[in-house]
Amino acid sequence: MTRPGEGRGAGAGGETRIWVVDRVAKPLAVLVADDDGRGADVPLARLPAGVREGSVLRVPHSDGEPQWDGAEVDDELHQTRLNEAEAALDRLRRRDPGGDITL
């Protein structure tokens, strides 16, 4: 799903893609691209201050390559995703009859 500011043509001279911080193992952060699942190990020093596991980043790309120094934390998208995940869990809980599984 393309969100405002994502995809080709977003931003001057390139595109903006969404990356999520999978884990932090100082001095690196392991990020996963939202659209294709590609992973990247990025020095924390190149990312915005305060980046932590689960942070959602909007990263400009030039010639298909991420420009980490221009990354911005998207707290609004992060919160939206948390809300969607919580709603999905609530739906699953309502369908769960409870009790032990018998085979």
Average pLDDT on 73-93 reads 94
User: Would residue 99 count as lying in a domain?
Assistant: no
Q: Which residue has the higher pLDDT, 58 or 97?
A: 58
Q: How many domains does the chain have?
A: 1
Which of 2, 1, 3, 13 is CA-nearest to residue 76?
Answer: 3
Q: Which domain holds residue 63?
A: 15-94
- Backbone angle region of 63, left / alpha / beta, with phi > 0 → left and psi within -120 to 50 → alpha: left
Average pLDDT over the chain reads: 87
Tens of pLDDT, residues 23-36: 999 999 999 999 99
User: Would residue 29 count as lying in a domain?
Assistant: yes
Residues 6+ apart with CB under 8 A from 36: none
Please give the Cα distance from 8 to 35 (Å, whole number).
12
CB atoms within 10 A of CB 58: 20
User: Would residue 100 count as lying in a domain?
Assistant: no
DSSP 103: -
